[in-house]
Structure 1
Amino acid sequence: MPHCKFSVKKNLWYVSPEQIGNLHRRFKNLTNNENTLSRDDLENISDLTFNPIRSQIIDAFFDKRNFREDEVGTAEEISFEEFLTVMSHFRPLKQNLTQEDREKVKREKLRFLFNMHDKDNDGFITLDEYRQLVEDLLSKAAIEGETTKAVADAAMLEVASVTMGQMV
């Protein structure tokens, strides 16, 4: 892997050098050894084929808000560093973070999720955008009752953990 001057979210996210190497190999595999990743490269990932929010996940990789705070719009292609920035949202936190840093990371993760569903970049998730999300989650895949219940329960637990943390 080439030298990477990348610092994952100011070192709040835990991404080991080994994980960075694995992600770099995955990036190169997806791009056929090119230096940039396109939307088509992600469209070909078989693990995403039946994911009900596949398009939102792919869009998240090209949403400039997810790799630079002062950016808006959509990128046509992304570099490995931008790929790593987006992937870092899925990584666990570093151990021994201060409470302030934990709160910062929670806000960043919530912002990332918010950006996935604020399709028109207006800073709001409208009722239509929310309805589209629910429709995507419940109708695009053949989801059985127990799976739907598990998805809903997991989402509610995540919301509760974030909300309870703010109420304490």
Structure 2
Amino acid sequence: MGSNFSKTLREEEIEEIESETGFTAKQITRLYNRYSNLDKANKGYLGREDFQHIPEIAINPLGERIIDAFFDQDDGDGVDQQARVNFRQFIRVLAQFRPVSSTRAGDLQLNAKAKKLKFVFDVYDLDKDEKISREDLTKVLQMMVGSNVTSDQLNSIADCTMAEIDEDKDGFISYDKFCKAMDGIKIDEKMSIRFL
């Protein structure tokens, strides 16, 4: 499908997307219409500014990190992913927020627990070095709480979190440490949106 798209999806495209994402044909059609509506200039792709006009993202303290998730993908088409998001990329990110289905189990699914954990980990990994530093953690916490806590309180939260998760005291939270810390959290339930 690349970065350009026609005004309608072909049946074989819908079937491919259904298989890849777990969305139903009806959900895909609705999401395609939403995607098309976001592309107000009819460019055939979405840019950062298109996402910034979504009210739910604009008011979310982690809005920019959520937007980043759409642009941090590689679909192998050679297009600069920092500049544009095609429909396939758009729906792949949204698929990570689908509730886990008991009939479609497996770690390869876009909405599998492992994929959801990686998504959340990447939100915290600001410099994309595959580890969360105290600085990464502090900046994301600051985004989340804004001016509701003092700098000392924020530093205390970051220090406590690092002390609890960074068992080997190397100063970083690796993906493995992060997963271990999130083991008791029902991420499948916390990171799910019901799509109509």
Task: For 2:102, give the aligned amino acid.
Answer: Q
1:99, 1:57 → 2: CA distance? 25
> What TM-score do you get using the length of structure 1 for normalisation?
0.70
Residues 1:18 and 2:60 are matched in the alignment: no
Match of 1:160?
184
The structure with the largest alpha-carbon Rg is 2
Match of 1:34?
43
- Determine which of 110, 113, 127 is the counterpart of 1:120: 127
> Which runs of 5 or more structure 1 residues have no equivalent in the other structure?
142-157, 164-168
Contact 1:52 1:140 (8 Å CA) reproduced: no
1:6, 1:129 → 2: CA distance? 39
Cα deviation for residue 159 of structure 1 reads: 5.5
Aligned residues: 142
Contact 1:6 1:81 (8 Å CA) reproduced: no
Contact 1:57 1:116 (8 Å CA) reproduced: yes
Cα deviation for residue 44 of structure 1 reads: 0.8
- The alpha-carbon distance between structure 1 residues 36 and 76, as it changes in their structure 2 partners (threshold 3 A), is same
- The alpha-carbon distance between structure 1 residues 47 and 98, as it changes in their structure 2 partners (threshold 3 A), is closer
Cα deviation for residue 93 of structure 1 reads: 2.2
Residues 1:92 and 2:99 are matched in the alignment: yes
The C-alpha deviation readout for 1:49-84, integer Å capped at 9, x for no partner, is 2211111011111012xx559x9x952101100101
Contact 1:8 1:88 (8 Å CA) reproduced: no
The C-alpha deviation readout for 1:118-144, integer Å capped at 9, x for no partner, is 122111111111111111111168xxx
1:114, 1:138 → 2: CA distance? 18
> Which runs of 5 or more structure 2 residues have no equivalent in the other structure?
1-7, 149-181, 188-196
Match of 2:64?
55
- The alpha-carbon distance between structure 1 residues 116 and 14, as it changes in their structure 2 partners (threshold 3 A), is same
> What TM-score do you get using the length of structure 2 for normalisation?
0.61
The structure with more helix, counted as a fraction of residues: 1
- The alpha-carbon distance between structure 1 residues 98 and 43, as it changes in their structure 2 partners (threshold 3 A), is closer
Contact 2:15 2:25 (8 Å CA) reproduced: no
1:112, 1:96 → 2: CA distance? 22
1:135, 1:98 → 2: CA distance? 36
Task: For 2:139, give the aligned amino acid.
Answer: Q
Q: Quick check: 2-11 or 17-26, which moved more?
A: 2-11
- Determine which of 21, 29, 54 is the counterpart of 1:45: 54
Match of 1:136?
143
What secondary structure is seen at the aligned counterpart in 2 of 1:110?
helix
2:119, 2:141 → 1: CA distance? 18
